[in-house]
Every structure is written in structure tokens, then in C-alpha cells.
Amino acid sequence: MNQPKRRSSCGSDEHTIHRRLFLQGTMAASTASVASFNGLFSVPLLAEETKRHGKKCILLWLCGAPSQFETWDPKPGTATGGPFSAIPTNLPGVHISSLMPKCATIMDKLAVIRSMSTKPSEHFQGIDALTRGDMPRPPFTRPILGSVIAEQLGQLDSPVPQFVLLDPCPEGNEFKAFKAGNWAGWLGAQYGPVRAGGDYGIPNIKQLDSISQADHSDRESLRKFFSKKYENDRRSAAAASHNAAFERVKGLMSCAPLFDMESLPQSDRERYGGGAFAQHALQARHLIENGSTFVMVANGMPWDNHVFQHEMHQMLVPELDNVLYQLISDLEQRGMLDDTLVIAMGEFGRTPWLNDARGRDHYPKAWSLAMAGGGIKGGVVHGATDAEGFEVTDGKVDNRNLFATIFTALGIDPHEDYDLPGLPTFFRVEEDAHPIKEVLV
Amino acid sequence: MERTDDKRMPMAILGGELSADGEMIAAACMDGVYTLDLQSGVRKKHYTHESYARTAFWLSSNELFSTGYDGQARWFRLDSGEENRHQKLHQFWSWDAAISPDRHRYASVTGQYIAGGYKYEPAEEIEPSVVIGDCETGDVVHRLPHVPSVQAVAFSNDGRLVAAGNLMGEVRIFDIHSGDCISTISTADFTSWGIIKSHCYLGGIFALRFTPDDKSLLLAGMGPMRDPMAGNGKQLWQKWEWSSGDQSKMIDQIHDGENGEGLMEALAVHPEGTMFAMGGRLRGGDWNVALFSLETGNRLTTLKTGYRVTTLQFTDEGQSLLVMGTQGQPDHKKDGAFPDFGRIEKYRLS
């Protein structure tokens, strides 16, 4: 019979003291001193040991799908080009939208793919394919990118959540429906995201004043023992998920200060910009710096501009421009860019033609995204579309190629199969789809 | 209303004006500024902006004035076929422009909506949002402040005032001689903070016009909603009586049961002052252009054009209504070019 998992602490007074110091520190009112991974530990060496030096990833999830014409693949002067002009970048001969002047100065650090060509043309299916890497195969649920990366590169026993979704918008139409689904899939609930940001907050992670630290710890041990026994006796996935949730809450209680945006330097907050997406991109940087492995930053589904295309893109694109610039600059300054992959993408692109509602509609046939750092070579523009952006003319990339590229960049074998007893054989990337070698370091 | 004319233009028409003699149209299109002879149907592209042309006006029978999303104003002479002046008005684009009734002054409004706060409150302007200038010399007379983005502008009938309306539903009324802001109107009814798809502001005032006595302003746009990006908010007009300072008050708005759904972006007041027209894009309901009594606010008649209406103008004698706009851009070319999708129609009022 399986034995309950042993406590990692031997129970000595020394450990008890450290544990109490640890909790006192993290339950204190938020201050900059504890709002960091190191601040969670009374013994600095313990912090360094826990903070494994590995690859990390920030996904700027541009849900709703930005227009490639108003970002990475402008077509100025053409019938489909839209109203915004193009500007030169620090890569000779490469132009991007005039809405992105800051990214124009760091194109040597970016890899832009202008030849994405995918199948789903509706949001839910597009989000599914571009966050899981493949089309659905019911009844099996492929884990989302963040879950795979958390499982491969993260530390399950870390007090800091390994996969965080920062999304202040609890709505989001199809994205709302998607968010309500099973993100971790066959990897299990322990690899699902911790959700935070804006309207979500993280409820119920403050320990009640009426319960002492020791009581709280003992109750948790007792609960853990019985529920683990139940889980093992019955091989219960529900109990496993329940346990994973408790583990996560325990971790969140210990690292709550990391989620306190107020604790971040005001100068940083101003640099990133006032909007929720920008603030959470900064928070993503902070989480990655302090032990998270994968942070996904979203803000509802603001890019779905069937209506008000120009009105929305004039605001959203400059925000994205600044966020990417600040994030990549910060990571580079901190010596983290080589180990941190930043991806900015949505679920597809938008039509070359303008509809009669002032907008562009869904277009998976030919679209763009950008990446930087974490094993990705900067200064590369991969692929091309025709003069008016209707078709990919060079270097076509689909979701499988993209995921093969992401996994390879992060040092994860894209073609390894999952160890799934009783399930069909699944690979991280199916059909041996090849990565885009041109953009890999 | 009976349709008496139906013409096509190669590209979307974002603005335009009928000439004083009623025979020619100046059209600001996505790809440049055109004229169209209504009688013969002959259309000609005369010049371009560096981006979309947004407005086009007749300064005389021989001279066009236009503004564009390049932030430029351009003057063009038809007899010589040459641009005779241009003026950089804004760093960002011209959202809208207007010409004074005597054709001596122009006004153009701009402003990029940049997130200024967590809820995407618009940041303060980085350049003056309202520009007033001289049509003859091109010189800018005033650069006046507002909160971006400022999407609609109009002159009063006596030519002394300029009203400019923005994303957040604020209208500022300026004296064009002194440049002073003499009144403001503030209405939250044209702006939404998106709940469903986006946490940001969307909408605003897309058209405004002074009533014939200049004492009131008509405002047009889309009513507030949880998902402004769906575009199916209430087709909305409001009538505001403005007065000095901030004592303005709303005196009428579209009546219950008379609206459908869609963004309204065009207004025109009948020369006799008896009625006004509002138009835009139909999202739900059975009309996208309607006539309303100026006195009672009652809806008089409706049109369902089948395309987005960007410009409305009554002919000088008041017998007809000119309707301009655009269908959706075709999704493929035919014989090497996109089929025409700009629309111009004329309706006789009965």
C-alpha cells in the first residue's frame, strides 16, 4: 500500500523556528523586503537552493487576436494596410507598425514570425490550439503550455506558484468559457494555473487571527494525511485535485506578498504604464524573478476588434509596444533574458479586408507573433506574406511548429511522449513537427 | 424617402461634401480624395494623404480642403490639378474636421487614446486636441486643450463657436476668436467601460451639430453597454442646451422604442431647421438612417441602407438627403482590383 508522503521537515525545534519565522515574515503586512522570493526564507541559502536556475516563460496572451497589419507585418499604402503607417526598425530593411516605436528599437532582440498559418477561425478553438499546441482529441485533454512548462521546468514543492495566470478580467466571451475549462489536462490539477489579478484577487489566503501558526500547521497535516490516504485507497482524481488545491493555497499563503502590486517600485509601475495589462506584465516579471516558471498575462479578450478596430488598436498596440520594450529591457538588465522566453501572441490574426463595422474579422490563414529571449535568437524575421497580407508566401508555421520551437528553446524535448498509463500515446508535439530552426539560438 | 441616385466609389468613404451647386461630391476615401460628378457619374482621384483621407470640403467650386489620418490638412486646386498648400495639424491623426459656414475657418480634432490608469482612463493629451485655423492662409489660429481622443467637431451656424466631443462624452465649446472654452457638456451615455471582452473605455461622441439657433447641440454615438465591442449598443442621439460654464442640460434624447442597435457617426440638420438626420451602422433593428423632428424629437422616417453611413448632408434647398459610406471591403479581388465598396446615395424627401 502507498505510504502517506512524509513531511520534508524532521520536526526539530530548529526547523519549527524557521517555519514560524517563515510564516511570520510572509503573513506580515506587505513590504518590499518580504515581497520577494528571498524574503520568504529566513535562511538565504535555503532560498537559493529552492530557486532552481532554469528556463522560464512569460506569455503575453493577446486574447481576441491582434491585427498583424497594425503590429508586426504592416502593409502601408496598400488597399488592406489600414490607416497606420510603418516605421523602420534597428534591423535594416525591416519595418513594423508606427504604433510600435519602442519595439522598433529592440528588433535585434526579437524574433518575429510573420508566417503563422493555423486552422481554427473561432476564438475558443483558436485559443485551445494556440495554448495547448494541438487540436482537441476528446475525451483526452492536452495540457496547456503553462502546465507543460511548469511540469517540466518548475518545482512542484515550491511555495511560489509555478504557473500563474494574471487576468483582471473575469469575463472575456469565449476566453471566459475557455478559462472555466480544464487547463492542466492529463498532467493533473497540480499543474493548473494559480489565477490572480485585478477582479480576481486571491481570496481566502489570509490565515485567521483566531488560529495560531502551530494549530494551522497541525490541522493541515491531519487533513493532508487523511485526504492522501483516501486518494491512495481509491485512486481518486478528485481527491488528488482537492489535495493539489490545498497545496496551492498553502503556497499562496506563504507567498502572498509576491502578488501585492503595491509593493512594486512606483518607478517601475510608471515605466510599464497604467493599464491593467501593463501592470500585470510587470507583476509577471516580478513572479518570474522570484521563482515562478510560467506566467501568462491576459486581460480578457480586448483584441477582438470586429468593431472599433482603429479606436482599440491605437490604444492596445502602444501599450503592448511599451510592455514588450520594458519587459525585455528589464530581463536583459537583470541577466535573465537568456533564460526567460517572452512570447506575445493571440489565437490568430485579423482579416486583410475591413468590414463595414470599422473592424477586421478573424484570420488564421496568415498572421504574426513575436518572441524574445529564453533560447530564441533575436533579430530574426521569419516568413513572409504577400503584398496585401492574404497568404503566407514563405516559411509557413503552424501551431505544432510553434510549440516545437517553444519547447526546444526552453530545453524541453518536443517529441517526447507523455507517460500516460491507460491512455493512447501522446507526444508534446505530434507528428514530429519541426521547430523553426531559424529562430533558435 | 425615395432614392434618386446610387453611385459607387472604389474605396470606403469616410467623409465628404456636396458642392454648393449640388452637382459634385468631394469624397474622402481610404485611398485619397475624389470628386464625383453626380450627373455623369465620372469620378476622379485627385490626390492622397499619407494615410486615409478623413474629411473633404469645398472651399470654392475650384478648391478642396481635406484632412487625413496623417494629421495633415491639404488644399487642392481642381483647375491646376495641384496641391497648393498643406499644413501639419497633429502628430496623431485628424479624427474629424469642420469648415465654418463662411468657409474662412477650419477646425480639426485629434488625440490618441493611451491608457492612463488601471481601468484605462485616457491619459492626458500630449498635443493640443483641437486645432482651429485659417482656410485662406492655412495658418493655425488656435491650438486648444481637450481630453483625447476627440472624435467629433462642428462649427456653430454663426461661425463663432467650435464644439468638440470626445471618447469620454465631454463636449467643450470654444469661442474661436479668443480660444476660450466657454461651456462644457458632460454625458456618460455615449461611453462604455467594457466588461465582457475588454476592460477599457470605448465609444464616445462620434458626431455633433449645432441646432439652427446655436443654443443647443445634437450629439450622436452609441449608448453604453457591457460589451461595446459588440457594437450593438443603442442608436443614440441627445440634445443638449449649452450655457456658460458647466450648467448645460440635456433637453431631449432618442425616444423609447425609436432606436435600434448600432454606432451612429453622422448627423445633419435640415436647412429649414425642422428636422435632423442621424445615421451610422446597423447592428440590430430595421434602420441605420432616420429623420427626427428637431422640435419634438419624434422619429419621422427611416432608411435601411445596407451599408455603414459615415456622412449625411441635406441639399441646400432642402429637397434631398445625401448619404455616403461604405460596405465591407471585399475579401478578394476581381480582375486584379477590389470591387467598389464606397457608397453614395441621394434620397428625395417627400
User: Would you write out chain A's pLDDT as a tens digit for each of its 441 residues?
Assistant: 333 333 333 333 333 333 333 333 333 333 333 445 455 444 555 445 444 358 999 999 999 999 999 999 999 989 999 999 999 999 999 999 999 999 999 999 999 999 999 999 999 999 999 999 999 999 999 999 999 999 999 987 788 899 999 998 888 889 999 999 999 999 998 899 998 876 544 455 555 666 666 666 666 666 666 666 665 655 556 666 656 655 665 656 566 778 888 889 999 999 999 999 999 999 999 999 999 999 999 999 999 999 999 999 999 999 999 999 999 999 999 999 999 999 999 999 999 999 988 899 999 999 999 999 999 999 999 999 999 999 999 999 999 999 999 999 999 999 999 989 889 999 999 999 999 999 999
Contact (CB<8Å) B331/A353: yes
| DSSP-assigned letter for residue A207 | P
> What are the cell numbers at B255?
425616444
Contact (CB<8Å) A302/B198: yes
Residue A288 CB-half CA count within 13 A: 33
Chain B residues touching A315 at Cβ < 8 A: 112-115, 120, 200
pLDDT confidence of residue A25: 35
pLDDT confidence of residue A302: 95
Report the DSSP pairing between strands B105-109 and B96-99: antiparallel
Cα nearest neighbour of A167 on chain B: B199
Q: Among B118, B228, B231, whose Cβ lies nearest the Cβ of A276?
A: B118
Identify whether the C-beta of residue B324 lies closer than 8 Å to the C-beta of residue B16.
Answer: yes
Measured on CA atoms in the order A163, A169, A172, A177, is the torsion positive or negative? Answer: positive
* Partners of B250 in beta bridges: B240
The percentage of chain B sitting over the pLDDT mark of 90, rounded to a whole number, equals 95
Chain A residues touching B199 at Cβ < 8 A: 168-169, 198, 276, 299-300, 302
In the numeric block, the cell 526552453 is attached to: A410
Chain B residues touching A83 at Cβ < 8 A: 30, 51-52, 69, 93
Give the CA radius of gyration of chain A. Answer: 22
Contact (CB<8Å) A276/B70: no
pLDDT confidence of residue A257: 77
Cα nearest neighbour of B31 on chain A: A79
Residue A355 CB-half CA count within 13 A: 17
Chain A residues touching B327 at Cβ < 8 A: 356
Rounded to the nearest angstrom, the minimum Cα separation between B81 and chain A is 22
Identify whether the C-beta of residue B196 lies closer than 8 Å to the C-beta of residue B226.
Answer: yes
In tens, the pLDDT along B98-145 reads 999 999 999 999 999 999 999 999 999 999 999 999 999 999 999 999
Contact (CB<8Å) B329/A353: yes
Contact (CB<8Å) B281/A301: no
pLDDT of B42 > 60? The answer is yes
Contact (CB<8Å) B118/A279: yes
A and B: number of Cβ contacts within 8 A: 129
Closest CA to B186 of B130, B121, B238, B108: B238
Confidence tier at B244 by pLDDT (50, 70, 90)? confident
In the numeric block, the cell 501522446 is attached to: A426
pLDDT confidence of residue A3: 38
Q: Among B116, B196, B331, whose Cβ lies nearest the Cβ of A173?
A: B196
Q: How far apart are CA B253 and CA B238, in angstroms?
A: 4
Cα nearest neighbour of A301 on chain B: B197
Q: How far apart are CA B72 and CA B82, in angstroms?
A: 16
Chain B residues touching A305 at Cβ < 8 A: 229
Contact (CB<8Å) A305/B229: yes
User: Which residues touch A10 (CB under 8 Å, ≥6 apart)?
Assistant: none
3-state secondary structure of A16: helix
Substitution target in A266, A311, A362 with the highest count of B β-carbons within 10 Å is: A311
pLDDT confidence of residue A240: 63
Q: How far apart are CA A367 and CA B72, in angstroms?
A: 31
How far does Cα B148 stand from its chain's mean position? Answer: 16
In the numeric block, the cell 510560467 is attached to: A294
Sheet of A340-345, strand order: A194-196, A163-166, A294-297, A56-61, A340-345, A367-372, A110-116, A380-382
Across the range B85-104, mean pLDDT stands at: 97
CA distances for A329 relative to A56, A107, A298, A323, A350, angstroms: 16, 12, 20, 10, 29
Identify whether the C-beta of residue A236 lies closer than 8 Å to the C-beta of residue A228.
Answer: no
Cα nearest neighbour of B195 on chain A: A171
The residue type of B50 is E
User: Which residues touch A113 (CB under 8 Å, ≥6 apart)?
Assistant: A368, A369, A370, A371, A382, A383, A397, A402, A436, A439
Identify whether the C-beta of residue B149 lies closer than 8 Å to the C-beta of residue B128.
Answer: no
Across the range B46-63, mean pLDDT stands at: 97
Q: Which region, left, alpha or beta, applies to residue A343 given φ > 0 means left and ψ of -120 to 50 means alpha?
A: beta
Rounded to the nearest angstrom, the minimum Cα separation between A344 and chain B is 18
Cα nearest neighbour of A80 on chain B: B329
Contact (CB<8Å) B194/A312: no
Chain A residues touching B112 at Cβ < 8 A: 314-315, 318
What are the backbone dihedrals phi and psi of residue A358, each rounded to the nearest 5 degrees, phi first? 75, 15
Contact (CB<8Å) B198/A311: no
User: Which residues touch A101 (CB under 8 Å, ≥6 apart)?
Assistant: A87, A321
Cα nearest neighbour of A277 on chain B: B118
pLDDT confidence of residue B184: 96
Contact (CB<8Å) A308/B231: yes
Q: How far apart are CA A269 and CA A264, in angstroms?
A: 7
> What are the cell numbers at B238?
441627445
3-state secondary structure of A102: coil
Contact (CB<8Å) A274/B121: yes
Contact (CB<8Å) A358/B263: yes
3-state secondary structure of A382: strand
* Partners of B209 in beta bridges: B218
Contact (CB<8Å) B196/A83: no
pLDDT confidence of residue A158: 82
Identify whether the C-beta of residue A364 lies closer than 8 Å to the C-beta of residue A119.
Answer: yes
In tens, the pLDDT along B149-173 reads 999 999 999 999 999 999 999 999 9
pLDDT of B250 > 60? The answer is yes
Q: How far apart are CA A353 and CA A356, in angstroms?
A: 10
Contact (CB<8Å) B197/A171: yes
Q: Among A304, A305, A354, whose Cβ lies nearest the Cβ of B328?
A: A354
Contact (CB<8Å) A312/B118: no
Q: Among A172, A354, A358, whose Cβ lies nearest the Cβ of B197?
A: A172
Rounded to the nearest angstrom, the minimum Cα separation between B194 and chain A is 9
pLDDT of B217 > 90? The answer is yes
Q: Among B30, B120, B229, whose Cβ lies nearest the Cβ of A306?
A: B229
pLDDT confidence of residue A201: 44
Chain A residues touching B198 at Cβ < 8 A: 64, 169, 299-302, 312
Identify whether the C-beta of residue B326 lies closer than 8 Å to the C-beta of residue A357.
Answer: no
